[in-house]
Amino acid sequence: MPRQLFTLVRPARVDKGYPPLVFVHGGYTHSGCWDINFLPFFQKRGYNCHAVDLSGHGKSPGIEDLNSFGIDDYADDVGQVVAGLSSAPVLIGHSMGAIVVQRYLEKSLAKAVVMMSPVPPTGLAASGVQLAVRIPDFIDEAERAVRGEYTDNTIRVMREAYFSPDVSPEEFAHIFSVFHPMVQEESMRALTEMMALALRMPVKRPRIPALVIGGEHDAMFAANRLYMTASGWNAETCVIPRSGHMLMLDPMWESVAQKIDAWIGAKVMNSVAA
């Protein structure tokens, strides 16, 4: 039975007939992460934007059953959003959301796909070891953040893990003010499934335009792992200088959005025109 999902819908300021964009958030957050910068940016450029709260996240029901949801359930959520659209979308997934859109595409189609800061095909385990070495207290402080128990050290760790090291104290104070209310629990089932992604080979991949984009200073998933995702999709790879993991909230967010916009224009619009 379809779940009653909440989706942020931001219509184009001027509808230019572009394919709709479906944004899929990553773990521990919800659709609001897109609404600060990305949705207004793409609205202004003529895209109809849809940002879903995956089951148990944000305003979608299911928080009490959160740990029962896996990646397939989240992929079904994406399918439910796409089914309500009048034309095939460009899917844009961040981190865990990049895994979700890939899972959706094993059985369905889209106009194109953008994978931002994706969980590598090797899964969370290897990246988790690197993160533990780089930021030893990340797990403890992340658990505090999920509970809303922020200390100075929690804030420091969130900054190091998710954002550019170049961000000024003033910039980060603003970013953190909008970021921390979005932090929430994540499904243990989904996290467990992502630990062993390498053991689950995809059924198939459609031949559609694909872009893999990440931050030069991503502490969660190192930029040199982007090619692992890109190689399976014959995707273009782009590393945004001086950017961290949360590309849509990072001070360099506009460079990310401009790259995606230009790429859609070149790879999707031009192919349609041809």
* Count of domains for the chain: 1
CATH number at residue 100: 3.40.50.1820
Q: Is the pLDDT of residue 1 over 90?
A: no
Residue 155 lies in a domain: yes
Q: Is the pLDDT of residue 124 over 70?
A: yes
Domain limits at 154? 7-273
Residue 202 lies in a domain: yes
Higher pLDDT, 272 or 18: 18
Residue 174 lies in a domain: yes
CB atoms within 10 A of CB 125: 12
Q: What is the arithmetic mean of pLDDT over 77-96?
A: 98
Residue 2 lies in a domain: no
Residue 38 lies in a domain: yes
d(CA 12, CA 40): 9
d(CA 125, CA 178): 29
Q: What is the pLDDT of residue 201?
A: 61
Q: What is the pLDDT of residue 274?
A: 44
Residues of the chain above pLDDT 70, percent: 96
Residue 45 has, within 13 A of its CA and on its CB side, a CA count of: 18
- Cα distance from N-terminal residue to C-terminal residue, the chain: 40
**Residues 179-195 pLDDT 10s:** 999 999 999 999 999 99
Q: Is the pLDDT of residue 199 over 60?
A: no
Q: Is the pLDDT of residue 39 over 90?
A: yes
Confidence of residue 62 (pLDDT cuts 50, 70, 90): very high
Residue 133 lies in a domain: yes
Q: Is 262 exposed, middle or buried (0-12, 13-18, 19+ CB in 10 A)?
A: exposed
**Residues 205-230 pLDDT 10s:** 889 999 999 999 999 999 999 999 99
Name the residue among 3, 125, 115 with its Cα closest to residue 57. 3
d(CA 84, CA 6): 13
**Which region among 121-125, 155-159, 196-200, 258-262 has the lowest average model confidence (pLDDT)?**
196-200
**Predicted structure pTM score:** 0.96
**Residues 225-250 pLDDT 10s:** 999 999 999 999 999 999 999 999 99
Q: What's the angle, vertex CA 50, arms to CA 48 and CA 51, rounded to 5?
A: 145
Q: For the chain, what is the mean pLDDT? A: 94
